[in-house]
Structure 1
Amino acid sequence: MREEIFVLRIGHLIERDKRITTHVGLVARAFGAKGILFINTESDVKQKIDEVTERWGGPFETKIIEENWKNVVLKWRKMGGAIIHLTMYGAPIDEKIDEIRKDKRRKLVVVGAEKVPKELYALSDFNVSITSQPHSEVAALAIFLDRFYMGKEIGLKFSDAKLTIVPTERGKRIIESRV
């Protein structure tokens, strides 16, 4: 199930976006992406996601990239990958998701903070909207990955998990293993 999808988080504003950027990474991991690339993000954001991966299992790759987003996108394209930009201005997801699924290239899903550079629209293979309304990039990423994997990521099992939740209707049950 786990196709090669990486997430690129751009436009992170130090302090204001720390929590949102962390949540983008957590959603990327939990919903089946292979990893996340952060552009000029604080190392503690990466550390938090790495700690979750250590406890709850992986594999999930996190990298802080010390270059601009455009270079990352151009390198991804040069290596034959597809660029998917999540934006409220793009084509509706329901019109594009089958085409994206059929595209067998490695995928880089780009999520921005506030206003993304206009140039990203031209460099993307797909500009996809979840809604044509203002919304959270965390929600957009979760919905995109859920639609891409057709809900199968919900049952995703992570190898080497030290902690595993046992679903219960009431209460909390966690199994701790010594992997």
Structure 2
Amino acid sequence: MDETMLPAAIIASMGAALVLRRAWSLPRRSLGWNAIGWCLFGLGITLGWIAGGAWGSTIATIGGIGAALLLLAHAAVTAPPATGARASNRRVGALPEGREPFRLGRRIVTFLMVVLAAMIVALGLGLAARGLLAWSGAGEANANVASFFLMPVAWAMLAFFLLLEEERARQWRLLALAAAPGMLALAAGLA
């Protein structure tokens, strides 16, 4: 193992936080700066993986998170106090207004889809990733860590996209597509 690989991974992740902070402070959205920032995070994770597997990726990511926290703390301390700021009065549609129907059944189904079904599908994705990595020779520890990493990330992404969908059929279709890798891994005996 090259001894400069892990420090390079940490520096790339820390640089990613700096570049993304720069990109998000510009008056207009910059695709180039955002792309550079996210590519640096990807480079840091990749170099970390080469240096030490899942452990190396974790250490590189911690470097980026630490840099981001320092940047946020600096922004919080140096931000001028808001004068005359008021809370938003935008309606989120969480509760019905006036004589609108409550749609309790639909709300319960949405909750169960996002919390229970999406969690089970994300668990299947994590098991599929673990099985695939173990089968490919990545090592049991690396396969387990990748699975533990993927499950909550997949669950959060599924929840996000499910809540964006307005049609119930499209929500079920999304869950079915996301469940396919877990079902294939289960059928192949990888899970």
Compare the two structures and name the one with the higher strand fraction: 1
Taking structure 2 as the reference length, what is the TM-score of the superposition? 0.19
Rg larger in 1 or in 2? 2
More helix by share: 2
